[in-house]
Amino acid sequence: MILFDGKTYESSEQDRLLTELENKIPEILAKMQLSPEVVIEAVECLKNDLLAGKFDELLASFPADVVDTYKKQAEALLSKEHLHKKLETELGNTFEYTTEHIPGFGQIRVRKMPLGVLFHIAAGNMDFLPAYSLAEGLMTGNINILKLPSADNGLSLKLIMQLIEYRPELKDYIYVFDTSSSDIKGMRKMAELSNAISVWGSDMAIAAVRGLAPTGVKIIEWGQKLGFCYITKLDETEDADSELEGLAKHIAQTKQLLCSSCQVIYIDTSDMNEVKTFAERFLPFLEAAANANRSEEIGVRARDTLVSYTQRLKGYLGEEERHDNVIRGRSCSLILSSDSELELSPMMCNVLVKPLPRENIGKVLYEGRYHLQTAGLICPEHERKYLAGKLTQCGLIRVTKSSDMSAYFPGECHDGEYALNRYVRIVNVEE
């Protein structure tokens, strides 16, 4: 299904509509710039309807606790107050100002303006990500072309259509396609219409986008990241069991599908016996969390099982390194490995546990520098500031409590950058 000019069309109309869009774009760009207040008002209406239950039927396939979490996040992140704060934080207090007299030039007017046309290639690991990414493009005044992920269940399109229903003038700035990633011709055409491509996804996905993007198109990468938890002096850590319980809940609730999710648990040691001792202590917490967060939806449970067992079968077939030292629990496992490489786990509550003495942190994180984002930290309170400083100095963007690795707070950057700031250009006009 395609959303074009506020109306829906069959996917077979893609080529015709892209040709029509090519003719429409110059006319739209020549209009008065879209006000962020129009977007904020529409998003506020969306939030109110979501909380009032208008979309409960669309959310019926999600577990009740997940829906509750989504609604709590929406209440905070989609509020008018938060969106105004987001604009101020990411773009500053002034969209436009005039410099003092500059000798030889006079005054210069400085203004932040849209890039023009943003092509969003959204990932499917977060249900609201496509719609939220598009909203960020709208808040900066851009025309937005959105390629939906293959896993999208129709929720994104419904939410975006609601935005247009609230404020019809948004239709000129929203074009949604359900194009397959294998449709290189269609993807290239969308890229050719754009000033910038905002791509969410794996290293392979980003490399593919670089290959199809014309010279001069700005590539805004939100690439694959790998989160980990670093644990030191557990016996000296206050409320250590509570910390471990929080880490287990985080792993079970995210299923390790997010960039911020814990893939590896590092222990501050070089002794594999200590690694095994930790794993045996942690297993009951992980097992309890995994079973408490099992979905009752048969389709979701089947997906989780397939993802986990596919990774295991790859090991048996020699496609991945086999991990023979595995401590299994019900619906979960801890995979002990003597190397310290930061890598993707089998996910679905199957976690890698590795040694990483603190003197080797710099070397290991440098080797994984392209995939660093979030670290959970469990340690004695008196070491937290030192270890957080060491981790951020070595490239980490976020250091949190182990339970909060995937939590989002208003005003937070993403991958060390503000999205809105990447979606605008700075214009200088001599007066």
Domain 2-224+415-430: CATH class, spelled out: alpha beta
**Three-class SS state of 62:** coil
As given in the structure block, the two tokens for residue 353 are: 């546990």
Q: What is the reported pTM?
A: 0.84
Question: 11-20, 23-32, 92-101, 317-326 — which is least confidently predicted?
Answer: 317-326
Q: Tell me which residue has tokens 């977007």.
A: 39
End-to-end CA distance of the chain: 48
Element spanning 340, H or E: none
User: Is pLDDT of 423 > 80?
Assistant: yes
What does the domain layout of the chain look like in residue ranges? 2-224+415-430, 226-404
At 264-299, the pLDDT tens digits run 999 999 999 999 999 999 999 999 999 988 755 544
User: Across residues 392-401, what is the average pLDDT?
Assistant: 95
- Tell me, what DSSP letter sits at residue 414? B
Q: Are β-strands 372-378 and 398-400 bridged in parallel, bridged antiparallel, or unpaired? A: parallel
As given in the structure block, the two tokens for residue 128 are: 């609201």
- pLDDT band of residue 189 (cuts 50, 70, 90) is very high
User: Is pLDDT of 406 > 70?
Assistant: yes
Which CATH number fits the domain 226-404, given the four candidates 3.30.428.10, 3.40.50.720, 3.40.309.10, 3.90.1200.10? 3.40.309.10
Rg (CA), the chain: 24
